[in-house]
């Protein structure tokens, strides 16, 4: 009996291990140890799949990432006697699977220096964080209230690789262009109310005469659907969102771009006191601000590693749902940005007073790195620990990638071509279209017939549907008869009846002599909610009451739409 009981318990234990393994994300974990010249790709048995040995002079500064096909993109420490402190890099390097460095880009001098995180972009460029030197005189001119002192505010640059060691800065944004203060009324950035200008940094918040590294950005990420950037601030205890759709000149201003606000802050969260609002400070030293990517539960949410979020000896990962309003974010002026607290929180059972990151995985799991102890852990959606690895050193960040992502050659980035009425993607295995950052249901063809003005993006995948790429947004406007046609110059030629309707609708356009046509129904926010071919009688009874627009497309021409009121 005892032996049988032992075997039963052993069998149950084995099943439990198998069950736990089955819940793990099927991927490889990639990490590099800070101040060392190696990087590792391991499976969740901690077996080394691949090890990169870099030049001994190329020490990992902070973050490292993998591109499809196994290319490493990493930050490298270079000596800079002006800018000193944690997270300093100065160089970004690309290294192929075989260990050959294909790009070494240095951005380091006596007036600027790269530091902390980078973000590889869908277009092959890299977003980089850099300090820039501001003199005491420049601080005084900007309305600094403390004794004038040298400062290192942050800037963000987007660099396009051009050669083995060269790159073009194709876009840049400077925090110094977006300051406010209520101390010195003689300065151009003076405002009596800080709380009424949350789009700007209060230069006198948490800024003393000994402060150089005032903001201390440390994490950066990019949302290709919204064309927006998020970044985190160690010293101000906030995460931010800015518009990337601007030109460099517009990024220095307060207007233009998709959101219409230039380079001003579109959203900020974590510490309402930083802009004079009332509310609870949730973030207490934050790293690794990022968007949850499409295809992952909670897509579009913002995430930050809250180093001292529970206490100085207990860290957590906080996830929030921003108050999206198109390309902007809802705010009652004078109040704090919502949500009032985190939407969800993961407690990894440990602490790291500095650095660290998390990654939300497509199966709902989370990979969490406690940097200072080199602890990398994968948790299930319920917070159950599934896998753990302790590296021999400090690991600022770790990432997990699907096996097919590592094995796949880099697919081409799609581009969009347009004629009068049609948008066409370059060829790929599959397609998904978006308008103004929102997915367009059922729009999965290579071509798209837009029904309204907007910014359109196409996402394409490779043959095994493992790696996807986003195009640059294409701004499409229906402004002339070149794009919208009327039947025999008579808009009344399209008839919709009954109107209002309870759901069964007839569409008549007898003056249009065609055999092949498509009927489309679009709701008031631009989503195609119904389409059918070669039928003039349509059933819309499944739709909610409201206002819709019906259009006819034939021979690649979209004809004037008719408004329909649905009242069931």
pLDDT digits (tens, 9 = 90+) for 7-54: 333 333 333 443 444 499 999 999 999 999 999 999 999 999 999 999
In this model, does residue 561 exceed pLDDT 90? no
CA distances from 96 to 66, 71, 100, 119, 409 (A): 10, 5, 6, 17, 12
4 pLDDT band (50/70/90 cuts)?
A: very low
In the listed set 429, 452, 476, which residue is the last one of a domain according to the structure? 476
CATH number at residue 295: 2.120.10.30
Residue 322: name the closest of 259, 380, 236, 379 by CA: 259
Does one domain contain both 287 and 428?
no
- Residue-wise pLDDT for 102-141, tens only, equals 999 999 999 999 999 999 999 999 999 999 999 999 999 9
* 489 compared with 40, residue with greater pLDDT: 40
Does one domain contain both 259 and 221?
yes
289 CB-near residues (< 8 Å, 6+ apart): 219, 220, 221, 230, 231, 232, 239, 240, 302, 303, 304
Residue 353 contacts residue 369 (beta carbons within 8 Å): no
161 pLDDT band (50/70/90 cuts)?
A: very high
Query: What's residue 557's pLDDT?
Result: 64
Query: What's residue 3's pLDDT?
Result: 41
560 pLDDT band (50/70/90 cuts)?
A: low
- Torsion, CA 306, CA 309, CA 311, CA 314, rounded to 10: -50
Average pLDDT rounded to a whole number, residues 268-274 = 98
Query: What's residue 240's pLDDT?
Result: 99
- Residue-wise pLDDT for 295-329, tens only, equals 999 999 999 999 999 999 999 999 999 999 999 99
Residue 257 contacts residue 246 (beta carbons within 8 Å): yes
* 531 compared with 165, residue with greater pLDDT: 165
Does one domain contain both 435 and 523?
no
In this model, does residue 489 exceed pLDDT 50? no
In the listed set 444, 476, 508, which residue is the last one of a domain according to the structure? 476
Query: What's residue 491's pLDDT?
Result: 42
Query: What's residue 500's pLDDT?
Result: 82
Q: 17 in a domain, yes or no?
A: no
In this model, does residue 493 exceed pLDDT 70? no
Average pLDDT, the chain: 90
One-character DSSP codes across 165-187: S-EEEEEEEEGGGSEEBSS-TTS
Q: 6 in a domain, yes or no?
A: no
Q: 447 in a domain, yes or no?
A: yes
Query: What's residue 481's pLDDT?
Result: 38
Q: How many CB atoms lie within 10 A of CB 96?
A: 15
Domain boundaries, position 539? 487-566
One-character DSSP codes across 18-47: HHHHHHS-SEEEEEE-TTSSEEEEE-TT--
Does one domain contain both 400 and 422?
no
Q: 296 in a domain, yes or no?
A: yes
- 337 secondary structure, DSSP code: P
Q: How many CB atoms lie within 10 A of CB 86?
A: 16
**What kind and span of H or E run contains 241?**
strand 238-243
Sign of CA dihedral 439, 560, 454, 170: positive
Does one domain contain both 390 and 436?
no
In the listed set 476, 509, 524, which residue is the last one of a domain according to the structure? 476
| 91-105, 513-527, 554-568 — most confident range | 91-105
User: Tokens 């549907």 label which residue?
Assistant: 465
Residue 317 contacts residue 368 (beta carbons within 8 Å): yes
In this model, does residue 511 exceed pLDDT 60? no
Q: How many CB atoms lie within 10 A of CB 144?
A: 26
Average pLDDT rounded to a whole number, residues 340-369 = 97
Q: How many CB atoms lie within 10 A of CB 185?
A: 10
Weakest-pLDDT range from 72-76, 204-208, 421-425: 421-425
Average pLDDT rounded to a whole number, residues 199-219 = 97
Weakest-pLDDT range from 94-108, 358-372, 382-396, 523-537: 523-537
Does one domain contain both 383 and 433?
no
In this model, does residue 490 exceed pLDDT 70? no
Residue 466: name the closest of 507, 405, 417 by CA: 405
Q: 10 in a domain, yes or no?
A: no
Does one domain contain both 126 and 238?
yes
Does one domain contain both 222 and 368?
yes
- 293 secondary structure, DSSP code: P
Does one domain contain both 383 and 285?
yes
420 pLDDT band (50/70/90 cuts)?
A: confident
N-term to C-term CA, the chain:
70
Query: What's residue 409's pLDDT?
Result: 82
Q: 481 in a domain, yes or no?
A: no
Q: Give me the number of domains the chain comprises.
A: 3
In this model, does residue 262 exceed pLDDT 90? yes
In this model, does residue 286 exceed pLDDT 70? yes
Does one domain contain both 177 and 78?
yes
Rg, Å, the chain Cα set: 27
Does one domain contain both 318 and 288?
yes
Q: 244 in a domain, yes or no?
A: yes
Does one domain contain both 158 and 303?
yes
Phi-psi region of 383 (alpha: psi -120 to 50; beta: other; left: phi over 0): left
Average pLDDT rounded to a whole number, residues 167-184 = 98
Q: 14 in a domain, yes or no?
A: no
């Amino acid at each position: 009996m005892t032996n049988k009981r032992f075997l039963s318990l052993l069998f149950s234990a084995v099943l439990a291990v198998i069950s736990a393994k089955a819940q793990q994300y099927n991927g490889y974990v990639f990490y590099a140890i800070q101040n060392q010249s190696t990087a590792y790709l391991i499976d969740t048995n901690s077996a080394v799949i691949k090890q990169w040995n870099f030049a001994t002079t190329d020490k990992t500064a902070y973050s490292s990432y993998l591109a499809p096909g196994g290319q490493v993109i990493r930050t490298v420490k270079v000596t800079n006697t002006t800018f000193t402190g944690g997270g300093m890099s100065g160089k970004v390097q690309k290294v192929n699977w075989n260990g050959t460095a294909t790009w070494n880009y240095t951005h380091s001098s006596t007036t600027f220096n790269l530091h902390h995180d980078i973000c590889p972009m869908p277009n092959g460029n890299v977003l980089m964080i850099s300090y820039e030197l501001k003199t005491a005189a420049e601080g005084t001119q900007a309305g600094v209230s403390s004794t004038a002192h040298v400062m290192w505010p942050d800037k963000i640059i987007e660099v396009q690789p051009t050669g083995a060691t060269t790159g073009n800065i194709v876009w840049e944004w400077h925090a110094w262009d977006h300051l406010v203060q209520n101390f010195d009324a003689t300065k151009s950035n003076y405002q009596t109310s800080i709380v009424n200008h949350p789009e700007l940094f209060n230069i006198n918040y948490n800024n003393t005469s000994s402060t150089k590294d005032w903001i201390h950005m440390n994490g950066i990420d990019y949302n290709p659907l919204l064309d927006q950037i998020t970044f985190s601030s160690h010293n101000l205890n906030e995460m931010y969102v800015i518009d990337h759709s601007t030109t460099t000149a517009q990024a220095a201003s307060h207007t233009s771009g998709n959101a219409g606000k230039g380079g001003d802050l579109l959203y900020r969260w974590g510490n309402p006191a930083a802009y004079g609002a009332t509310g609870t400070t949730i973030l207490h030293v934050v790293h690794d601000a990022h968007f949850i990517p499409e295809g992952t539960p909670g897509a579009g949410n913002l995430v930050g590693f809250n180093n001292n979020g529970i206490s100085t000896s207990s860290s957590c990962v906080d996830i929030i749902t921003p108050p999206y309003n198109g390309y902007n974010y809802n705010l009652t002026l004078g109040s704090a940005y919502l949500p009032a607290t985190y939407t969800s929180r993961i407690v990894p059972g440990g602490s790291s007073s500095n650095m660290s990151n998390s990654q939300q995985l497509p199966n709902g799991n989370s990979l969490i790195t406690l940097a200072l102890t080199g602890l990398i852990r994968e948790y299930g959606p319920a917070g159950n620990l599934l896998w753990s690895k302790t590296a021999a050193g400090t690991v600022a960040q770790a990432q997990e990638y699907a096996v097919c992502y590592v094995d796949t050659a880099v697919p081409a980035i799609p581009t969009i071509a347009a004629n009068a009425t049609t948008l066409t993607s370059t060829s790929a295995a599959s397609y998904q279209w978006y308008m103004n950052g929102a997915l367009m249901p059922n729009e999965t063809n290579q071509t798209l017939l837009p029904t309204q003005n907007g910014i359109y993006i196409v996402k394409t995948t490779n043959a095994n549907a493992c790696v996807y790429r986003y195009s640059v947004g294409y701004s499409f406007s229906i402004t002339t008869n070149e794009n919208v046609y009327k039947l025999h110059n008579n808009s009344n030629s399209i008839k919709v009846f009954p109107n209002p309707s309870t759901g069964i609708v007839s569409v008549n356009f007898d003056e249009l002599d065609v055999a092949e046509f498509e009927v489309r129904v679009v709701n008031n926010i631009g989503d195609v909610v119904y389409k059918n071919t070669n039928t003039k009688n349509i059933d819309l009874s499944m739709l909610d009451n409201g206002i819709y627009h019906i259009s006819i497309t034939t021979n690649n021409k979209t004809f004037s739409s008719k408004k329909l009121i649905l009242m069931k």
